[in-house]
Amino acid sequence: MPLLSLNPATGRRLRAYPTHTTAQIESALALAHRAFLGWRELAPSARARHLRALAKQLRRDRESLATLITREMGKPIAQARAEIEKCATACDYYAKHGAAQLADETPAGAPKHTRVVYEPLGPILAIMPWNFPFWQLFRAAAPALMAGNTVLLKHASNVSGCALAIAQVFHDAGLPEGLLQTLLLSSAKVPRLIADDRIRGVTLTGSTEAGRKVAAQAGAALKPCVFELGGSDPYIVLEDADLDLAAEVCASARLVNTGQSCIAAKRMIVVNRVRREFERKLTARIAARRVGDPLDPHTEVGPMARADLRDELHAQVTRSVQRGAKVLLGGQPLDRPGWFYAPTVLTGVQPGMPAHDEELFGPVAAVIGVRDAAEAIAIANATPFGLGAALFTRDRRRARELTPAIEAGMVFVNASVHSDPNLPFGGIKQSGYGRELGLPGIRAFVNVKTLWVE
């Protein structure tokens, strides 16, 4: 069956894409391996030149690529432009720092005639989601390519146009053939790819359920993996927090990409002493966000990416309200074409409600009242997820004392959780394992080889 691309703002069909045949998949695997044999021989400085060319091409094509993102998955155009720029920034970062990060080392205390070297593995399979259709790929691909690997991309079916556009960017930037190839195929064909001896590693961004399946397949084939999976990020607001700052950051972090982000603010855990005031400020800020046509540069909240995702979100809100949560704002789909959901604030959220226990992947903020900081951290950790977290307090010393107790791969104080090419990105528990970006990102898919030369 073809892969369908639909416009979330209208619900109308954009295009149908035929899937690749078995012969085409085999050809891509062979080309990825051949390209690797030449690419790995290039000096890091030569690879860096190609990454800089890639960054320049992304910036040249920013408007057309951003428009494609918006049309295929509904991201507000201003955020789509920022996504393309962030991809270019990641390419520039690894072009600048990759050679040093891959340089041979002699560890402290090791014999003088020993070295540790970092060598590429081969073709890496990248299984990517729709919510950041360019950034998720470049976040993984830029370091993998700089390390000397090649990449095969299996993207989400609803952003097939973006997937093909990514491959076109590589071509237009003049990069060697086969460094990155897009495969249009169903998830049913992924196990065969993972099992193929030419695939040397797997990186996946997606749901925890998808991560479990791919982890089992990769484990059977003994392939190294990096997984960035679901999240239910807690944003803890203590009684001494700057409430205006906290409300503004929480509103922005909850509604980024229409709430469809693994690191969006999901649960606002607020000390009861300031909860009502925080709720008023948060609700006012969320209500002020402009909902509308995602191609309008003034739009801040667009449609959800698919009808089924909107319906699932509404079911979670409905069940939470039936179990006692109160709606301060929104709480229903919008009566207009496309898959829009009203920006929503729920309060009185308790254990046993979907808004408390599950990931809400859309523009719904859940406010949970707690007695004190100790209970806030206990609630923050009472989740199978452990991706990001944020803490709001005016006392930096108190923040330093509390952050070690928060179970997450990333903790931000008085700021929203976000990715930066300089810093490791990833989570713990059912939010995945391994790290992207920073130094760990470029060493995720390398052979850490010990050399002992007498």
What's the pLDDT at 1? 86
- pLDDT means per 10 residues, the chain with 454 residues, are 96 97 98 98 98 98 98 98 98 98 96 96 98 98 98 98 98 98 96 98 97 98 97 98 98 98 97 98 98 98 98 98 98 98 98 97 98 98 98 98 98 98 98 98 98 94
Main-chain phi, psi angles of 30, to 5 degrees: -65, -40
Q: Where are the beta strands (DSSP E) in 361-431?
A: 364-370, 385-386, 388-392, 410-413, 428-429
Architecture of domain 3-229+431-452: 3-Layer(aba) Sandwich (3.40)
What's the pLDDT at 312? 98
* Interacting residues of 90 by C-beta distance below 8 A, sequence separation 6+: 138, 139, 142, 421, 437
Q: Do the domains at 3-229+431-452 and 234-420 have one common CATH topology? A: no
Hey, what amino acid is at 131? Answer: N
What's the pLDDT at 317? 98
The domain locations on the chain are 3-229+431-452, 234-420
pTM of the model: 0.97
Closest CA to 346 of 303, 316, 305: 316
Give the single-character DSSP code of 125.
E
CA 16 to chain centre: 25
Q: Are 363 and 334 in contact (CB under 8 A)?
A: no
Question: How far apart are the C-alpha atoms of 302 and 310, rounded to whole Å?
Answer: 12
Question: How far apart are the C-alpha atoms of 328 and 310, rounded to whole Å?
Answer: 19
**What is the pairing mode between strands 180-183 and 114-120?**
unpaired
User: Whose structure tokens read 């359920």?
Assistant: 209
CATH topology of domain 234-420: Aldehyde Dehydrogenase; Chain A, domain 2 (3.40.309)
Catalytic positions:
228, 262
What's the pLDDT at 139? 98
Question: How far apart are the C-alpha atoms of 250 and 293, rounded to whole Å?
Answer: 23
